Structure 1
Amino acid sequence: MPLALLSGFLCGLLVWIFDVAPILPALLYLAVLGVLLGAIDARHKLLPNRLVLPFLLGALCLLGIASLISGTWLLFLGGVLGGAAMFVVYLIMALIKPGGMGMGDVKLAAVVGLYAGYLGLNAWLLVLVGAFILNAVAILVLMLGKVLTRKLEIPFGPSMIAATLMVPLVSGVG
């Protein structure tokens, strides 16, 4: 029930901010699947391929349709390039320190990079840096609350998704 409430709240905010903008369906898709994947990753430390890969394909389709409606093909190209670039950045990090970042995070990076790249270079950079900042804040809060010890890890997917959702919600860009 809390996940449905969170998804509904985020969708309501997005509708309020974006009204009937062509990007709205893609952002709603991000909110609903993002909350679901974030919850799965938080609980199981896993981002299942059977959800991440359709998430990427659905986002590509919805952002493509938004570009078709609005005639903003350069935004779509920016999204595709942003998704590829974010995937490469996360893949390099995963290869440099195996076990530090999972391959689910690397695949999710393609999705969040697609959205962020569609919104522009500044949004892309905010999502890249914002995910690490949000994760650090989450770790600090959990350690201060004595919920997390140094030996435990927290998943990175929720921070990636939160950073991606925060950019359009806070900036109204889209």
Structure 2
Amino acid sequence: MGVLAVGLWLAALTGYDIARRRLPNLLTVPGAVLILGWAVASGRGWPALCGAVALFGAYLLIHLVSPADLGAGDVKLALGLGALTGAFGIDVWTLAALGAPLLTAVWALAARVCGRRGPVPHGPAMCAASAAAVALVLVQP
């Protein structure tokens, strides 16, 4: 799967979530399927599947406990991003999984300091953390 295609997918997800405060199935589900297909074809299917299931499970649990704080779109996005980061190893997966809530917290704090109230979308932080974690692997010499 091309870096450009993944980058465009992440940018589309980010823009959509910021503009509409939701992540549509039309973007989340096909992306997850394509990433899992790429992972299987490149011999990284098992780690990608494990990453997808683990991140999906964690996000589903949080959504079930507090649906107002984490939407179903974020849960579905976790499938694709968990697969993407899982395909590159547990350390990449962990960095993205921990980085996303930290980025959301920083964004929420900055918004509050600037006088904005209310929740901030979590999808952009998920995309940014995943992109950064994968980029660290791809740019290593």
The correspondence for 2:76, drawn from 94, 107, 110, is 107
Aligned-residue sequence identity (percent) comes to: 30
Return the letter of the residue paired with 2:89: G
TM-score by length of 2: 0.92
Matches for 1:57-68 after TM superposition, within 5 Å: 57-65=33-41, 67=42
Cα RMSD for the two superposed structures: 1.6
* Aligned residue-pair number: 140
* Distance in 1 of aligned mates of 2:80 and 2:33: 9
Q: Counterpart in 1 of 2:138?
A: 172
In the TM superposition, what is the alpha-carbon distance from 1:171 to its structure 2 partner?
3.8
Provide structure 1 residue ranges, at least 5 long, that are not aligned to the other structure.
1-22, 68-72
How does the TM-score come out when normalised to structure 1? 0.75
Query: 2:119 aligns to what SS in structure 1?
Result: coil
Which residue of 2 is the match for residue 32 of structure 1?
8
Q: CA deviation at 1:123?
A: 0.9
Find the counterpart in structure 2 of residue 153 from structure 1.
119
Compare CA radii of gyration and give the structure with the larger one. 1
CA–CA distance in structure 1, aligned partners of residues 68 and 114 of structure 2: 25
CA distance in 1, matches of 2:58, 2:139: 24
Flag as ranges the 4+ runs of structure 1 deviating above 6 A.
none
Structure-1 residue corresponding to 2:50: 81
**SS where residue 134 of structure 1 aligns?**
helix
Instruction: Read off the aligned partner of 2:79 and give its amino acid letter.
Output: A
Q: Deviations over 1:61-119 (max 9, x none)?
A: 22333x1xxxxx2x321011100111011000001112111100000001110011101
Query: CA separation in 2, counterparts of 1:120 and 1:28?
Result: 21
Judge conservation of contact 1:64–1:76 (CA < 8 Å) in 2.
yes
